[in-house]
Amino acid sequence: MINRQVEDSAYPANAVRLPQELWIQPVNNTSDVLRDDPDEHIPHTTFLFRGDAQLEDVIDLGLQAYREGESEHQFSVVSAGSSVGAEAYGVLAYLSAVAPDLGRVSLVGVDILPRLSDAAQAAQYRTTRPFFSDVERDPADTLPRFGFALEPYRDPIITSGLYSVDASKIRDAHDVEFRVGDLRNPNLEIPEANLILANNLLFHLSPDAAETVVRNLLVS
């Protein structure tokens, strides 16, 4: 938080800034999509606008390289370890705000667990706790500007301050696909991309597995 505030002063007043990270979980029939299976040992947790300021910088670099290349191809993104799609929709929301001329962006998310990819495709979430503190703004002030539809969400225990978050409009404005695959598999087909995001993926893999994943992503 302190870092973000310091960095804020360095940004031009009219720069598009992502909202701060927002904890969400998918809304579906099972409601336990993000559970940690004892035999998997894989953390799935994710936030909307994961690593906000850092994410902006990475996207800006990818965009700059794309512009300099004067490519006629569609701008393309891979979200490696896409979980329930929070990173994917955050990236698309930001790209639409800073580079609307790109039109439809191609985004492929890859995750090892089918239930996560299904939830990502569904694009229906809810916030998980009230967000009315000094440092956290009400998501209703920021998310609709980035294309997310919000409605009050009633939880049996917390009765105010929660929202359902619908990212389907963002999904449908782009060419979005969530695939199931193990990124350690060298035969996995990963499309070429202008921007490859692998936020919070490598740290929980063994050094050998992490190296294989990076190699696979770079070959793509």
Ligand X SMILES: C[S@@+](CC[C@H](N)C(=O)[O-])C[C@H]1O[C@@H](n2cnc3c(N)ncnc32)[C@H](O)[C@@H]1O
Using CB under 6 A, list all residues that contact ligand X. 42-47, 50, 81, 83, 86-87, 110-113, 116, 182-184, 199-201
CB of 204 to ligand X, least distance (A): 7
Give the CA count within 13 Å in the CB-facing half-sphere of 81.
Answer: 21
Give, in order, the Cα–Cα distances in Å from 135 to each of 2, 20, 21, 46: 10, 9, 11, 20
Which residue pairs, CB below 8 angstroms and at least 24 apart, start in 201-208?
201/80, 201/81, 204/41, 204/42, 204/43
* DSSP output for 84-122: TSHHHHHHHHHHHHH-GGG-SPEEEEEES-HHHHHHHHH
Instruction: Give me 50's structure tokens.
Output: 């994961």
Cα R_g (the chain), whole angstroms: 17
Q: Residue with CB nearest ligand X?
A: 81
Rounded Cα distance between 213 and 207, Å, is 10
DSSP lists the bridge partners of residue 79 as 109, 197
Farthest CA pair distance, the chain: 53
Nearer to ligand X, 67 or 188 (CB): 188
Nearer to ligand X, 21 or 166 (CB): 21
CB of 163 to ligand X, least distance (A): 19
CB of 174 to ligand X, least distance (A): 18
Nearer to ligand X, 28 or 67 (CB): 28
Residue 81 backbone class (left: φ over 0; alpha: ψ -120 to 50; beta: rest): left
CB of 125 to ligand X, least distance (A): 13
CB of 47 to ligand X, least distance (A): 6
